[in-house]
Structure formats: structure tokens, C-alpha cells
Amino acid sequence: MPRDIVYFDLETQRTANDVGGWQNKHQMGVSVGCTFSTKTGQYHIFTEQTVKELIDQLLRADLVVGFNHVSFDYSVLAGYYPFDLAEQLRSLDILVEVEKKIGHRLKLEALASATLGAGKTADGLDAIRWWQQGKVAEIAEYCCYDVKVTKCLYEHGVEYGEVRYLDRNHREQVVAVEWSL
């Protein structure tokens, strides 16, 4: 059976301010979740109504790759699942891995634009506004694009042993990574 790497991202219905702070991520609610599975070769889109299927796919994965997903996305999913996904899943969090190397957090945009030459199409606050406007298709497109960017960053790191980022002065920097398929 081929190894299944699942690339993952989700968007929320509410901001941290809406739920009384970052400690209440489990109350933010999922608007849309997106995955790409190397086993199926397909993107999958989930809504709050199908979040159980999303969690099931993550639990079946051999590795879950995301960007800030261990701290953020898994905490949002805690509102739907009684167990600690961070303890149950084998995960590679690109944000965490890069932060260990350079000593501070980066935005996905800083890595994507320098490494891939393509940035993000929107941000999480746009997705919340779209949710309030009932624009679920826009959220799904944005979320799937972030999953694609995450997948491409991971694959670049595997192939070249490095990713690039723009530092605070907009200079391109290189950071070595030890990721493997």
C-alpha cells in the first residue's frame, strides 16, 4: 500500500476576538477544510457538516503536512473531536520546522514567494469575511490553494534540502531542511 501524505489546511468561521481569545480556538468553527492525499492524488474539500470525514482522513494518513496546523488547525478541530490530534498524528509542521532553524516565526507568504515565486491569494480574515457573506466556494478555492502551496514547499524541501524566505528587510534567505518522503 503506498504511503499516504496528507497536506492539510482549514479556515474558520470566527476570529480569535470573536471567541474570547486564542485560548478558545476550539470555538472558532470550521468553515472549510482542504486536503491533498498522495494516495488518491486528489484534493478533498470539507465543510463543518463533513468535518468527521476530514478527521478520519487525517487519522488514516501516514504523515500530515501543514503550516501552523499542529498549534492552530488541530486546536480548531478539538471542537469536533475529543482526543488530542497532535498526539495521535504523525505531523510535519513547516512553520515549526523553519522556526526551529531561524529562531522566529514566518508567514507562509514569506516562504512561498521566495521559494516558489508565488504567494498566497488571500488571508484568513478574507476567508472569515467570505464566510459571513456565504461565499463558501471562494473559501474552498483559497484553502485548496494554500494546501497546494504547502505541498509544493514540502516537496521543494525534500528535493533540494532547503527552502527560501524573505526576511524582515525583504532579502532572500536560505534555510536547510531535513524532510523526506
168 in any annotated domain: yes
Query: What is residue 167's predicted lDDT score, i.e. its pLDDT?
Result: 86
Across 170-180, average pLDDT: 91
Counted domains in the chain: 1
105-114 own/partner pairs: CB under 8 Å, 24+ apart:
106/165, 108/67, 108/68, 108/146, 108/149, 108/150, 110/165, 110/166, 110/167, 111/153, 111/163, 111/164, 111/165, 112/149, 112/152, 112/153, 113/166, 114/163, 114/164, 114/165, 114/166, 114/172, 114/173
141 in any annotated domain: yes
17 in any annotated domain: yes
What is the percent of the chain where pLDDT is above 70? 97
pLDDT digits (tens, 9 = 90+) for 112-165: 999 998 876 677 788 999 999 999 999 999 999 999 999 999 999 999 999 999
133 in any annotated domain: yes
CATH of the domain at 129: 3.30.420.10
Query: What is residue 1's predicted lDDT score, i.e. its pLDDT?
Result: 45
181 in any annotated domain: no
123 in any annotated domain: yes
The residue among 106, 80, 77 whose CA lies nearest residue 168 is 106
Identify the domain containing residue 70 by its residue range.
5-176
Across 82-97, average pLDDT: 96
Across 51-75, average pLDDT: 97
- Model confidence at 92: pLDDT above 90: yes
Query: What is residue 117's predicted lDDT score, i.e. its pLDDT?
Result: 87
Query: What is residue 118's predicted lDDT score, i.e. its pLDDT?
Result: 80
